[in-house]
Amino acid sequence: MSIRNLAFNMFVIVLATSFIALSIGTVSAEHKIEKQSFGKVADGTSVELYTLKNKNGVTAKFMTYGAALVELHVPDRDGKMADVTLGFDSLEGYLSDRNQHYGCTVGRVCNRIAKAQFELDGKTYKLAVNNGPNSLHGGEERPLDEVVWKATPLPEHKQGAAIRFNYKSPDGEEGYPGTLKVGVTFILNDKNELRIVYRATTDKRCPVNLTNHAYWNLAGAGSPTILDHELTLKASNYTPVDDTLIPTGEIASVKGTLVDFRKPQRIGARIDKLTETNTGGYDHNFVLDRKNDDKKNGDDKDARKMSLAAKLRDPASGRVLEVLTTEPGIQFYSGNFLKGVEGKQSKKYPYRSGLCLETQHFPDSINQPNFPSIVLEPGKIYQQTTVYRFSAE
């Protein structure tokens, strides 16, 4: 082969390789997916960080540890970008006791299960006791937010820049029955929406209730408070709780209570009256104003409509977050246990400097027969969708 032909062949190979890399990493000239190393967990497993961008410059970062949202940069009314979700600059922070479920995918069952146990098909299943007498957010050794997921970039996704995370939870992990195959897809579109699609299957009957545990501060992560944010919740009812924050089983009206957010309310307006109560502030599950008739949880034929659940507004920046979901409930948590740890860019996250809006089925549903079921049947598919829509006023 002549030197000229060899050089030409090498050029073709380099060009083809570049094209392949571009097709993997780029949805279009404006939608980009980038990958980088984010460290290793204790057993040596590598953790990857993926960056998604839309044509408006909105940027979201996700890591394979906990299928977690690490950063989300959105514009204010003047077009100035800020990262509006709490977290850490490195994996080390997420592996430490400073991590309070920042941005992670929570499960198998999010929120609380009473007395860390449930009965299914005549058998009692014991779970990790990690929140008073109860079990919280899937356990403590290998809940979904403390394992490394497999990531698959989806450069050809028609809705925008997208990435899917998958994890196979073996039968008995954290005390739960059945081998659960879980998939979470994050899609960032040009409407400045972050869409999260959850999907799971099992080989045994088991409870499933997934959510994302992002902490929001629309003034920017590290801003001192969320008490000046205005919140609206599309919920006429909520589920009162006992002293250990387990629902009593009652579906109660919010009318005339401190948890009535049917009209926009400044979060700090009434929160002091809740500080010395069992919730320590806002930490309530709200029953969204929709028909809760999804008794066949996870059935593909049981298509539930997406509807607006919450609207959050920061008057100073003008940033607005709307939360839409197919789920029957949303947990509003006002960051009552944030303790001033150091987060991204050495900024501190003090008491009530971030809030969570966790779309989900109701807490302790597995032990509450009058709540919508969270039992997934073999051969059926658990599927739900939540959208975080950002804008500015």
Query: Which are the catalytic amino acids?
Result: 213, 358
Asked if residues 273 and 324 have their Cβ atoms less than 8 Å apart, the reply is: no
Distance, CA of 120 to CA of 127 (rounded, Å)? 13
Distance, CA of 203 to CA of 188 (rounded, Å)? 32
- The helix/strand/coil state of 171 is coil
Distance, CA of 186 to CA of 168 (rounded, Å)? 18
Strand 135-136 versus strand 117-120 pairing type = unpaired
Beta bridge partners of 134: 131
Distance, CA of 201 to CA of 179 (rounded, Å)? 8
Instruction: Give Cβ neighbours of residue 113 (< 8 Å, ≥ 6 apart).
Output: 127, 134, 135, 136, 363, 364, 366, 367
| Of 183, 156, 186, 166, nearest in space to 70 by CA | 186
Asked if residues 210 and 325 have their Cβ atoms less than 8 Å apart, the reply is: no
Distance, CA of 382 to CA of 150 (rounded, Å)? 19
| Of 330, 356, 368, nearest in space to 113 by CA | 368
Distance, CA of 366 to CA of 375 (rounded, Å)? 7
AA letter at 61: K
Element (H, E) at 93: helix 91-95
Q: What is the DSSP letter of 95?
A: H
How many CB atoms lie under 10 A from the CB of residue 192?
Answer: 17
Distance, CA of 171 to CA of 52 (rounded, Å)? 33
Paired tokens of 166: 């998958």
Distance, CA of 49 to CA of 31 (rounded, Å)? 17
